[in-house]
Structure 1
Amino acid sequence: MSATSLPEQKKALRARLRQARREVSATRGGELAARAHAHLLASPLWRQARHAALYVSLPDELDTAPLLDAAWQAGKTLYLPRVRQQYGLMDFVAVRGRDELRPGPFQLLEPRDELPGFGPEEAGSAFRPDVFIVPGLGFDRQGRRLGFGGGYYDRFLSAVRRQDGGCAPCAFVGLCYHCQLQEALPAEAWDERMTHICTDREWLCL
Structure 2
Amino acid sequence: MAAAAVSSAKRSLRAELKQRLRALSAEERLRQSHLLTQKVIAHSQYQNSKRISIFLSMQDEIDTEEIIKDIFKQGKICFIPRYRFQSNHMDMVKLASPEEISSLPKTSWNIHQPGEGDVREEALSTESQREKETWLLITKWLRNETEEGVKTWQAQPLLLKCQSN
* Structure with max Cα Rg: 2
Report if the CA contact (8 A) 2:55-2:81 is conserved.
yes
**1:126 alignment counterpart:** 129
**2:47 alignment counterpart:** 47
1:110 is paired with a residue whose SS is coil
Deviation of 1:204 after TM superposition, in Å, equals 6.7
Report if the CA contact (8 A) 1:25-1:62 is conserved.
no
**2:120 alignment counterpart:** 116
The answer on 1:60 being equivalent to 2:60 is: yes
Structure 2 Cα separation of the partners of residues 55 and 22 of structure 1: 19
Deviations 1:119-175 (A, max 9, x none): 87x279836543111xxxxxxxxxxxxxxxxxxxxxxxxxxxxxxxxxxxxxxxx31
Report if the CA contact (8 A) 1:78-1:94 is conserved.
yes
**2:106 alignment counterpart:** 104
Aligned counterparts, 1:55-204, within 5 A: 55-101=55-101, 102-105=104-107, 106-111=109-114, 113-118=117-122, 122=125, 126=129, 128-133=132-137, 174-179=138-143, 200=154, 202=156
What runs of 5+ residues in structure 2 fail to find an aligned partner?
145-152, 161-165
What runs of 5+ residues in structure 1 fail to find an aligned partner?
134-173, 181-198
Structure 1 Cα separation of the partners of residues 19 and 62 of structure 2: 13
Specify which structure has the bigger relative contact order, considering alpha-carbon pairs within 8 angstroms and separated by 6 or more residues: 1
1:111 is paired with a residue whose SS is coil
Report if the CA contact (8 A) 1:62-1:177 is conserved.
no
Report if the CA contact (8 A) 1:83-1:90 is conserved.
yes
Structure 2 Cα separation of the partners of residues 104 and 51 of structure 1: 24
| 2:53 alignment partner AA | A
The answer on 1:18 being equivalent to 2:18 is: yes
Structure 2 Cα separation of the partners of residues 29 and 67 of structure 1: 15
| 2:106 alignment partner AA | G
| 2:57 alignment partner AA | S
Give TM-score scaled by structure 1 length. 0.57
Provide the aligned length of Structure 1 versus Structure 2.
Answer: 143
Structure 2 Cα separation of the partners of residues 88 and 97 of structure 1: 26
1:103 is paired with a residue whose SS is coil
| 2:122 alignment partner AA | F
**1:37 alignment counterpart:** 37
Deviation of 1:38 after TM superposition, in Å, equals 1.2
Deviation of 1:109 after TM superposition, in Å, equals 1.1
Report if the CA contact (8 A) 1:100-1:111 is conserved.
no
Deviation of 1:176 after TM superposition, in Å, equals 3.8
2:110 is paired with a residue whose SS is coil
Deviation of 1:46 after TM superposition, in Å, equals 0.3
Deviation of 1:16 after TM superposition, in Å, equals 1.9
1:58 is paired with a residue whose SS is coil
Deviation of 1:71 after TM superposition, in Å, equals 0.2
